[in-house]
C-alpha cells in the first residue's frame, strides 16, 4: 500500500513522472494486456487498446483521487477502452456488438498469438456468448482470480450482484459447452 501511494505521488509530480510511469507500465502491462485480450480476443487489437489505456492513465493520473486502488482504477479504464473499441468497430462494420464478437471469434483461430486448442476455442466461444456484464465478471474472476471486493471497485457494482452474475455465467457456460 505504501509503495502504491509513493508511485501515485511520483506519477503526479512533473520531475518524477516519467520514471514512475515506466515503473507503472512494467508492473501492470501484462495483467492489463490479458484482461483486455479476453475482451477484444485478438492480439493486435489488445495491443492497441493497451496503448490507449496507458495514454489515458498518463493523461488522467493528476485527477486520480485515490478512492480506489490504482490497479482497480486502471482496470476500469482498460475495461472501458476495450468495450468502447469493440462498440466503435462493430458500428463501423455495420454489426451489433454480439455479431461483431462472433466475427472476432472466427478470426481467433487465424491469430498466430492464439495458443489454445479446440477446447480453449470452444471455451472462448462460450464466453463470448455471455451477456457483456457476465462475460466481464467471469473473465476477471476466473482468469485473474480477482476478489469480489476488487471487482466491485472496477465494475462499480455490488458484491452480491457480482456473485449472482458469476454464478449465472458459470451455469450458462456449462449449458453452452454441453450443447456444442
pLDDT digits (tens, 9 = 90+) for 94-145: 888 777 777 777 766 555 555 556 777 788 888 888 888 898 899 889 988 8
| Choices 1.10.1740.10, 1.10.3720.10, 3.40.50.300, 2.40.10.10: CATH for 1-115 | 1.10.1740.10
pTM given for the model: 0.77
CA distances, 26 to each of 23, 117, 125, 156, 166 (Å):
5, 29, 31, 26, 30
CA distances, 18 to each of 13, 23, 112, 118, 167 (Å):
9, 9, 33, 43, 42
- DSSP symbol at 63: G
CATH number of 116-180: 1.10.10.10
Which pLDDT band, with edges at 50, 70 and 90, does 27 fall under? very high
Residue ranges of the domains in the chain?
1-115, 116-180
With beta carbons less than 8 A apart as the criterion, state whether 40 and 86 touch: yes
Average pLDDT of the residues of the chain: 87
Amino acid at each position: 500500500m505504501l509503495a502504491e501511494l509513493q508511485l501515485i505521488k511520483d506519477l503526479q509530480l512533473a520531475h518524477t513522472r516519467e520514471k514512475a510511469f515506466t515503473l507503472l507500465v512494467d508492473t501492470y502491462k501484462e495483467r492489463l494486456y490479458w484482461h483486455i485480450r479476453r475482451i477484444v480476443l485478438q492480439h493486435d487489437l489488445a495491443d492497441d487498446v493497451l496503448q490507449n489505456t496507458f495514454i489515458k492513465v498518463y493523461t488522467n493520473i493528476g485527477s486520480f483521487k485515490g478512492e480506489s486502488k490504482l490497479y482497480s482504477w486502471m482496470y476500469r479504464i482498460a475495461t472501458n477502452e476495450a468495450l468502447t473499441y469493440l462498440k466503435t468497430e462493430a458500428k463501423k462494420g455495420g454489426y451489433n456488438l454480439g455479431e461483431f464478437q462472433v466475427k472476432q471469434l472466427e478470426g481467433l483461430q487465424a491469430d498466430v498469438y492464439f495458443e489454445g486448442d479446440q477446447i480453449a476455442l470452444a471455451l472462448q466461444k462460450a464466453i463470448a456468448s455471455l451477456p457483456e456484464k457476465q462475460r466481464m465478471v467471469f473473465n476477471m474472476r476466473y482468469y485473474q482470480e480477482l476478489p469480489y471486493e476488487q471487482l466491485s471497485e472496477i465494475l462499480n457494482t455490488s458484491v452480491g450482484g457480482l456473485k449472482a452474475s458469476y454464478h449465472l455465467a458459470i451455469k450458462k457456460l456449462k449449458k453452452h459447452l454441453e450443447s456444442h
